[in-house]
């Protein structure tokens, strides 16, 4: 401590102390009002790079979650369409069994054939289902309907797959290759559903004994085979939905833990800062009081 103390020293010390306390108060107010401990990089240089990093991770996770949600919606649309195809296949199978048992006359069979043809159009409409403006059964040729209405049964899509990212480096295939089920129609003789439906309609109209026999034997076998393929496709779509759902759950867990880490670095501890703020306020008013009273006094007050 210095030997002589002059009023100027007391004044400047008091002023410095007031400034220091006021700076601390401003910092605390800033933390309390913004709820953030870091309002500029110099508050915590390493922390700010962590904040940038963690926020980016959070954004990434929420984007992946969006991707997975989108995938689930896509799969739900696909499942509904396949459910409808499955009902058509079952209905055709019933018609086949009825047509094969010989109690119906040719007129009845013709009516059944007409029904089968209408159901065929229905299957193709289901195959042309869109999700968010994209044909979901066309592979990546999402702007092209996979099947035309009418007699042409050729598959117009491609064999590529559509997938959704669900995490860094991990993605889930969400497209269903419907040509495995529907095929390219009668002309191709591939035994797929459209071929089967066309054959069934033809056999129903045919009227010969061979045609009737085919209904109960080869046609029935074919439709059973088709239904089995459809079930497999539905199972694949279901498991993709499960994978997406699992990814969302894991993703949300990660989001929770990263948000926690972020908040540890970034968020104001209200209790601690409030107490610090109260202390600073007390110090500030004490310094003010001291400055206002002590510096006023001098020997002059006591000389007459």
Q: Quote the radius of gyration of the chain (alpha carbons, Å).
A: 39
Say if residues 114 and 57 touch (Cβ distance below 8 Å): no
List the interface residues with other proteins, window 31-90 (CB under 8 A). 36, 38, 40-46, 48-49, 51-53, 55-57, 59-60, 63, 66-67, 70
Q: Determine, following the binding rule CB under 8 A, whether residue 164 of this chain makes contact with other proteins.
A: yes
The single residue listed with the structure tokens 């007391």 is 10
Q: Determine, following the binding rule CB under 8 A, whether residue 2 of this chain makes contact with other proteins.
A: yes
The nearer residue to other proteins, 41 or 187, going by C-beta atoms, is 41
The nearer residue to other proteins, 150 or 168, going by C-beta atoms, is 168
Q: Determine, following the binding rule CB under 8 A, whether residue 8 of this chain makes contact with other proteins.
A: yes
Intra-chain end-to-end CA distance of the chain, in Å: 32
Per-residue mark of binding to other proteins, 112-131 (x: CB under 8 A): --------------------
Segment interacting with other proteins (CB under 8 A) among 92-100, 107-115, 154-162, 238-246: 154-162
b (16+ CB within 10 A) / e for 205-243: bbeeeebbebbbeebbebbeebbebbeebbeebeebbeb
From 181, 141, 188, 193, select the one nearest 162 (Cα to Cα).
141
Question: CB atoms < 10 A from the CB of 286, how many?
Answer: 12
Which tokens go with 221? 């076998």
Q: Determine, following the binding rule CB under 8 A, whether residue 296 of this chain makes contact with other proteins.
A: no
Q: Determine, following the binding rule CB under 8 A, whether residue 255 of this chain makes contact with other proteins.
A: no
Positions that interact with other proteins (CB under 8 A): 2-9, 12-13, 16, 36, 38, 40-46, 48-49, 51-53, 55-57, 59-60, 63, 66-67, 70, 132-134, 138-144, 158, 160, 162, 164-165, 168-169, 171, 266, 298-300, 303
């Amino acid at each position: 401590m210095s030997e002589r103390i002059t009023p100027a020293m007391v004044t400047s010390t008091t002023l410095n102390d007031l400034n220091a306390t006021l700076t601390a108060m401003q910092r605390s107010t800033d933390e309390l009002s913004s709820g953030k401990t870091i309002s500029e990089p110099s508050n915590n240089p390493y922390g700010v790079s962590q904040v940038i990093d963690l926020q980016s991770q959070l954004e990434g996770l929420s984007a992946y979650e969006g991707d997975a949600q989108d995938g689930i919606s896509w799969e739900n649309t696909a499942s509904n369409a396949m459910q409808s195809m499955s009902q058509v296949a079952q209905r055709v199978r019933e018609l086949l069994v009825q047509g094969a048992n010989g109690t119906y006359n040719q007129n009845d069979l013709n009516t059944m054939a007409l029904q089968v043809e209408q159901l065929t159009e229905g299957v193709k409409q289901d195959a042309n289902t869109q999700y968010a403006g994209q044909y979901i059964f066309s592979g990546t040729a999402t702007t092209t309907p996979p099947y035309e209405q009418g007699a042409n049964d050729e598959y117009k899509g491609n064999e590529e797959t559509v997938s959704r990212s669900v995490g860094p480096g991990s993605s889930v295939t969400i497209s269903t290759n419907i040509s495995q089920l529907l095929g390219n129609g009668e002309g191709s003789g591939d035994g797929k559903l459209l071929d089967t439906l066309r054959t069934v309609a033809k056999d129903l109209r045919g009227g010969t004994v061979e045609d009737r026999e085919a209904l109960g034997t080869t046609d029935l076998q074919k439709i059973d085979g088709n239904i089995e393929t459809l079930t497999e496709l539905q199972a694949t779509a279901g498991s993709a939905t499960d994978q997406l759902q699992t990814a969302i759950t894991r993703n949300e867990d990660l989001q929770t833990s990263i948000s926690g880490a972020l908040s540890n670095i970034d968020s104001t501890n209200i209790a601690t800062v409030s107490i610090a703020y109260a202390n600073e306020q007390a110090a500030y008013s004490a310094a003010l009081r001291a400055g206002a009273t002590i510096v006023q006094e001098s020997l002059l007050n006591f000389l007459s």
